Structure 1
Amino acid sequence: MDPNAPHQNSFDAMLAATEPLDPITTAIVHPCDAPSLEGALAARDRTLITPILVGPQSRITAAAAEADLDISGLEIVDTEHSHDSAEASVRLVREGRAQALMKGALHTDEVMSAVVNKTTGLRTSRRMSHVFVLDVPTYPKPLLITDAAINIYPDLMAKADIVQNAIELAQALDVDIPKVAILSALETIYPKIPSTLEAAALCKMADRGQITGGILEGPLAFDNAISAKAAKTKGITSDVPGDADILVAPDLEAGNMIAKQLMYLAGADSAGLVLGARVPIMLTSRADGTLSRLVSAALAQLMVHHNLGKELM
């Protein structure tokens, strides 16, 4: 990748890619404040989603009235409280009435508790994980970072699922063969740093077909993953350094710090999804702006249509 290549706004391209697609029916979980409703309505207006508002009807209508938002014509599933909203939203998915979930004004733990329930949730054989998608001004293409929100200290097999989830999202973004950098503190195997061993094992798993669809390289330090010049200085020969599509962090703390540093020091715009459940989940936060909510909805729409396309093949 040419380090001097001009930056192109990747979020604009993602939104443009959704224009020919049908909106996906999305359960908005407990949208009892203005940001939740504004995000849902903005995504609806861009034909990204068809929202179903799931929460206490009186609180939803009061929040809409206070913010002067028109929610007439939107379906509302009335619930008693936030836990009930999460369970009702999951139930809509299980009944085939919703294709995605969008978090509203409740804690992430409440949503995920309903999602991971072993009997009434949305589990699959795949480990669930979160993927940040960043538009970094100093990087000429979208950069995916995982896992920075769900798995705290994932073991090797969990990391294999984390990698596979990210590869499939990158493919939904029209990256045919994503390049995956498995991060650690250095680029050589050092038994006292377990993440270097796991990085090497993940690469071998890809060689043996246990992880498919991407090119894996690791362990790599952050500079080697992002800069071809830094990798060349270290004598690393690979297609991934300097051209990574996906950065896989050794644990949640590292992933979260990488993503937040790029957002607040490099001016990156961010969006994200939880993958590995039956449907994509948008874990938007109160701090997220309209762009982040829109692009998260676009990611979910692209992912749903990508999966539908695979089912038809």
Structure 2
Amino acid sequence: MKRLGRSALIFIAIGLALYAGVYYAAEQLMLRTGRSNPFFKIATTQDSTVDWVILGASHAMPLDFADFNAQMERETQLRILNLAAPGAGPLYNRFVFEHFLRSHRARHLLYVVDSFAFYSRTWNEDRFGDAKLLRRTPFEPAIARRLWDYARHEGVDARAVLDYVSGFSKINNRERFQRDVWEGEAQFERAYRPSSSAVKKRIDYLYPDKVSSAALSRYFEEFSALIALARKEGVTVVVIKMPVPPQFYRQLPEEAGFDDALSRLLAARDVLFYDFSAKTSEPSLYFDTDHLSRAGLTEFFIRDLKPVLVSGRG
């Protein structure tokens, strides 16, 4: 029996060693193919202090497509770090910003707000367990500890912690040899042709739980906590809404009510809010139903965003 027990222990030890080797290889490959994951950007940035951190969901991401972030830095003479992530609501964005502040500093925070991100767990608690994000997030003990805290206190599924610590999604990533680039970046130069069916499908996807005052109140609290965190660290907060096509905007559920509630929340906290939703109406300046193309983003940057970034308060 002792010999059998010893053999079992050796077998387990060999298995764990093999798994550790595969995990290490997957981690190194992830670091070589990294690009858009916010935690990868934090881990690899060479600047301890930046002028602007950008947070938000996919509408903020084109600001870092191709060479556009570098273009903004050249024209403003500012250091800009875009930490937006697809489908990221205020809870996930706070998680990202907390990790950034562990070892970095920012003078200003630009939050690109989208109403859909304030109405569902899908874009908040559930984002922590999304395999596409987990498999591109570098392993750090500090992230693991913070993720466990969010599982204990913020309603995040504990399986997200297990996945992150075990590296399951990273090891089983079928796109492991591909660069971490959001699919929208490949369409950045495209001119969109309007489609009512595509808009409806997109709206249905963004609002899986429709809208509710309870959800809005819940995620406004998380957003307020993020603002308070920034203020505590001496970071100026500016909130904007990116341009979207009129056909898309008209189908957003209860958007006027959301804008009113958001304006009141930000005014009470003395946070500047710029609503650029209707600033770019030409569909050809978007690459899909609601994301600006390079041409549209260039126009928006020069006309609207650059003055905000340069002044620091708009």
TM range (shorter): under 0.3
Higher helix content, 1 or 2: 2
Kindly name which structure, 1 or 2, has the bigger radius of gyration based on alpha carbons. 2
Could you tell me the TM-score, scaled by structure 1's length? 0.28
